Structure 1
Amino acid sequence: MASIKGGLRMFLASISVKNYRSIDDSGEVKVERLQAFVGENNAGKSNILRAIACFLSVGAGGVKLEDVRDPKLPIEIEASFAGLTDRERKELRRYLVGDRLTVKKELTLVRDDKADKWKLEVSYRGYMAEPKNWWLSIDKIIEMKGSKPKWEEIAHEVGIFDIAKNSNGKIDKKSYEAAISYIVTHNKDIEFDEPVLSDGKAMGIQQNLLRFLPEFFLLPAITDYADEIDRRSSSTVFRRLMAELSERMLTSDPRYGEIDEAVRKLNDLFNAAEDGGRLAVLQTVETALTENIADLMPSVSSVRLSVEMEQSRELFSRGVSLRVHDGVLTDVLDKGHGLQRSVVFGLLKMLISKSRSGEDGGNSDRPILLGIEEPELYIHPQSQRLIWRVLCGFSKNHQVVYTTHSPAMIDIGCYEGVAIVRKPTASVGTQIHQCDAGVLGSQEEKQGFKLLNSFKLQHNSMFFAREVILVEGEQDEIAIVATGRKLGLFEEFPEEIGWTVVSCDNKEQIPKFQKLLNAYGIPYSVWVELDGLPEDHKKNKTIIDLADGNTLAKMPKRMEDAAGLDAHFSDTFHCRTHFCDPGRITPQLEALVKTLFRTDILLEAAPIEPEGQAI
């Protein structure tokens, strides 16, 4: 398949998961090209990535018996893929519903009586459309001609004898099927019946479909990152990315053939037949070894030494070690976790640049779907945004899905690419909350919101909060935090109890944040200055109407009036110095802050859970 320079590739457009670990029924989860999953610890974010890994793997894909949530039901993972290239649409069009490819994978617990144990049985289902012309469908031919069709007669009848005959000049079912497959693939005028849900074996999913799907790389939040770089493993993300570099870049070098030739010569020296140039000393060793073993075991007549040779791709993926000079030149295994993880992101960045410039030599057969648990792990806070930009760049040609606890790793302006994961109770299981791109209305409104948030990351924090307080500006936030401290609601900041104060910059922007919070189902309170205007005034009414049952702490005029002041603070520093003295905080402010935090139910809130993995 030709490489697509700077273009879009097939990507995972949606996934639904049932009965897997903490997930009872996820519903349809839309997946963007850059998709973040955020949520508290143990909510089940990693289980979504592992479900994707299972779907895109052969067999059980690492799923264990204990991962089946209800043993009486199968694990169901249904995935839909979009963005198919012209060639993919051409070859897969009988499997498409509209412009998407949708496949379901099921893993069922069954009893293996012979082995006296339980095992997972894997099956696939998908949609398949039969050609309308009877002679282009094996099922329709059998229905019309009986269970033993005369393939040669049919080929003559419909005029495809020449392309249906095999190497012996005969026509059997296999050669006929190959012929009609070619016709269906290469003739865009073929008409199909409506797609119907079919058994995976009948569809040939393993042979026909899975090879087209994205290749999945999962970078887990592991504690010992040296394992990822270890030369002894070829299955880690680092080693697989090294292999990708070899496949996509090295093969484009004019001298790459010299490597293949050298590997072939080495293989001949060690493993060729006796007349193929094999080293004579190996025959000598084998003869002596045979004689010595035969003395002990007379039934042994010969011994053959076989030297395992790597292919050129494996030479690069497994044989390369990295030495990094950061003041001292040492192996990357001897460096810190942050540098080791940065090496992987460096490989990603290289793949991005080579793919965009076309230097991968047109060898990028499959798109890559990269899954990462907490990309910010081990990374200095000021470098986290750089990592996020690498992921953004990678998603231009491929796809990235990741979990995160860092506001630096998301963009509130692209809110459709952020999913909030919650687990209200163990019995309810993991729930995924998303937001459509059109929630803010017009494209102009969305662009304005994106611009508002383009100069700071603070607004991103609202996605990580249990509850949010919306205020106009920074001085309102100072007043609320100071009053909350005085009331003993928290020691230093509201985040201690799961709340985040979000400064919207001005009153006109508050409704945009409300729309987002409503869409995600995040509870919130609004600090509303009525500015001496009636509640049904347009600016006030919009905020009040959008609250939709959420809390409003309303001030008739301004925050300064509630603080017992006659005028605005001269600046933010003036505001801070005023509220540093708890004695200046008025009973009116205390009442407003109690309303904001709903102190009647605040004590019932669950504490923040420690880190761990949802099961």
Structure 2
Amino acid sequence: MELKAFQVENFRSIDQSEWINIDDVTALIGTNESGKTNLLSALWKLNPVSNDGKINLLSDAPRKLYSQLRASDKSTIFIRCKFELNENEVQHISKLRRTPIEGLKFTTVCRKYNSGYTVDFPDEKLSNLSSLIFQNLITSKIEIIKNLQLLKSENEEKREKFLNTFEIIDLEFQSPIVDKARLEKCLSLLEDIFDEKAPKTSELTKVYNDTHEFISSHLSNVEKPTSEELQKSRNYIIEQLPNFVYYSNYGNLDSEIYLPHVIENLERTDLGAKESAKVKTLKVLFDYVKLEPKDILDLGRTESKADIDLSTDEIEIKAAEKKERSVLLQSASTELTSKFRDWWKQGEYRFRFEADGNHFRIWVSDDKRPEDIELEGRSTGLQWFLSFYLTFLVESKDAHKNSILLLDEPGLSLHPLAQKDLSLFFGNLSKTNQILYTTHSPFLVDSNHLNQVKAVYIQDDGTTNISSNLRANEGNPSQTKSIYPVHAALGLSVSEMLFNNCTPVLVEGPSDQIYLSAIKTLLISFGELTPKKDIIFIPSGGTRGVKPIVSLLTGKNDELPIVLLDGDSQGSKMAEALRKDLYQDTPNSILIVSEIIGMDQAEIEDLIPPSIMKKLSRYQLRSNNPDSDFEDCYVKDSPILKQLEEFAVTNEITLEKGWKVEFAKLVKNHLLKISRDKISEDTISTWKALFSKLI
């Protein structure tokens, strides 16, 4: 199962967050004290591997609710997660719940402060049957009854009795949906006309038997599962939950591991957050080498006076134990060296564990520096990565494919280039493990995948919220500070692009970036576009952000970047201003969607075939009115985005913050799966015309 979205409520600084969609890699950005760690902690406590992630009402409950929760049964939910099940899981749940597989693709798992879980299947369809198959059967049987040849022992009164009963049953099946109660009622009506003494050769008896058997055979399809079966399905989901592995910089291995203090701290329960995190990492380390700290302490000690009085046999036993522990350390060193190379590509590191008196030391060497150097003599970046790696390796119990990594401020001590490598590493690791991390560093924000970035900010009432819309709560000055890493990442990305000879194109927002990237990919795959330089679309955060970012995108030869704007009033005004000012010598570098498409007020969304937009709008704009459908009110050759928004207002549909980005992602995923014959030649021509101007 794969995590798709989560929501946190009644947890520390969070009253109720938005539902946040999760990618393979998801970055949470925000200012200090905005609540990023609280969001990760709530997720961690859904299914933590270690006891450190157990629920603690005193530290986890919001202060204003603590007394209320403490006095209650603590059944308050604090984390909700939506998971997508794989095919095998869906099949298994379908059997347990006796429910069609179509409605079991997603499950919602919640956890309460009393450690209990709730499991729901929001799209589950009741096992009801269409009445049409029964209507056809009963209608045909009525005709047979009217025209069949009665036996000599039968009379017209019996025929009339059958006809009356079947006509009543026919009325029961006028409802479009057939449930268990309706089928049982029809079987009861049939049994009222059953005649045990009727000859087997009777046509009426044959009609009765056929009908009774047909209805009975479908009864099992609508039988509800027992409470025990339902509980088994919920238990199965809990068993399949991925492990959540949490790691913060607090847990970095100390530069020097003093065993007497370690042994003492492992027994303590009154440690602060930082010391607890370090103890957790040390537990992980000793689990990895498969030795207790006391055993390692004994291994590092020299002979004492007490050893002088030992017998020969006792000395041999002690020597054998010491040798075995030493071999275990060597074996663990070799294993760590081998596995670590598969993870970190910054160098070919070799590790060696050693017991030295009261100290446990980790020695490190590499190809460039072959001599052994203690871990504390190497970079803090290497110390962080080794600590994180050990935590993940041990806590996930090698079940890497069923673990979700929660990293709090990863790689702060890494060099910027190493942070970029770490970002690439996250991309590779995400093939087997979903990753959520918090960061302030622009080097850990992937500007090519801004849809993976979520903004965490403090609301006016002091509580924490999170949004996929990087401009959410933009009226609050603290929000601008929250998303600063994104702006910085864009600047870094732009500089890198220029050095790599790419063609940057400035667009208004992330949704524009998503649509245009999809179109570019399709044109290249269709063989209609062969750019000599890659085309990168840079969102500016709206028309107001265009001018500031233009300066960043200007190359060494002072060549201004191409700007692509919507044809609405804001886009047209900005285009006119740019052509009169910065772009007065190169007005053709300012492109407006309306001029490309030939539609007044057109926006980027109008580049997508309307048939696709209308189809996918059903998922985005779900109306409570079954008679209201966007396709019915769509106006051809008119900007579709404004129509979608007007439809939402008319039908009282709430459009969540960031809905345009989420809808763009939905459209992009659909586009990349369809073949060329599903897209008209007129649309292809429009796309080619646009990209010829961009190139």
Higher relative contact order, structure no. (Cα contacts within 8 Å, ≥ 6 residues apart): 1
Q: For this structure pair, what is the TM-score category when the shorter chain's length is used for normalisation?
A: 0.3 to 0.5
Pick the structure with greater CA Rg. Answer: 2
In the superposition, the TM-score normalised over structure 1's length comes to 0.45
